[in-house]
Amino acid sequence: MKTLIIVSHPEIDESASQQYLKEALPDSNEITFHHLESTYPDGKIDIEREQELLQQHDRIIFQFPFYWYSSPPMLKHWQDEVLTENFAYGYGGNKLKDKELGLVLVIGMPEKEYQVGGKEGFSLSTLTTPYQAMAKKTQMRFLKPFLIFQFHYMEETEKMRMLTAYQQYLMIEDFDTLKAKENWFLQQIEAMDEQFLPRGSTFVLEQVKELIEDNRMELDEIQMYLDQAGGSL
């Protein structure tokens, strides 16, 4: 699965959160990082190139700071220019069909304000409907958004946990299932280069791996039992 991260931020070098996310990108040829403002400093978008990029990837991510409940102007410009009729919608416009659309939003206010009675007053499920409607129109599958609230107030451990979830959001198919997350962790452990690990940690990792696998076996057994019970009812 190939993932295209379309980042829009007018001053990305000054953004601590965007830099943090960028540095944590896995070194994988399955992931393309694409910052619009630095690719097109004069705002003139190469539509053909962008449409090719979209066709070469399966999961499309819009990553941006959530200013005034929407994207920076450059991403909107990109939408207006690149998502043309007969490409993205309309007659013959099925080039994005069955691809996934995800959002990675960096949000300044705390999560609890995004509800009725909260300071922002609207949920993020409601505020992001323009992107959901875009996914519907282009026949894409809209993923649960990845929301980063108040990055500046996050503790180091929170940031680390967030990064893991971010990498999963980019890379795992069905990233929202426990099984997929387990597999991802197992792959990460496999991929670790022993010679760079501290003494003794190989043994610990082996144990962790066995634990995850044992857990999964037990869960699968319970599932099988439940399925059979359901069948005999």
Binding site for its own copies (CB under 8 A): 10, 43, 67-74, 76-77, 79-80, 83, 119-122, 126-127, 129-130, 132-134, 136-137
Backbone angles phi, psi at 141, to 5 degrees: -95, 120
The CB density around residue 99, as the number of other CB atoms within 10 Å, is 19
> Is the CB of 68 or the CB of 153 nearer to its own copies?
68
For the bound state, the minimum distance from the C-beta of residue 212 to its own copies, rounded and expressed in Å, comes to 40
Alpha-carbon distance values, 87 to 115, 155, 172, 207 (Å): 36, 44, 27, 50
For the bound state, the minimum distance from the C-beta of residue 86 to its own copies, rounded and expressed in Å, comes to 15
> Is the CB of 74 or the CB of 106 nearer to its own copies?
74
The gap between the terminal CA atoms of the chain, to the nearest Å, is 39
> Is the CB of 42 or the CB of 227 nearer to its own copies?
42
> Is the CB of 26 or the CB of 73 nearer to its own copies?
73
Burial class (CB within 10 angstroms; exposed 0-12, middle 13-18, buried 19+) of 63: buried
For the bound state, the minimum distance from the C-beta of residue 130 to its own copies, rounded and expressed in Å, comes to 4
For the bound state, the minimum distance from the C-beta of residue 77 to its own copies, rounded and expressed in Å, comes to 4
Backbone angles phi, psi at 97, to 5 degrees: -55, 135
With CA atoms as reference, report the closest residue to 139 among 113, 165, 101. Answer: 101
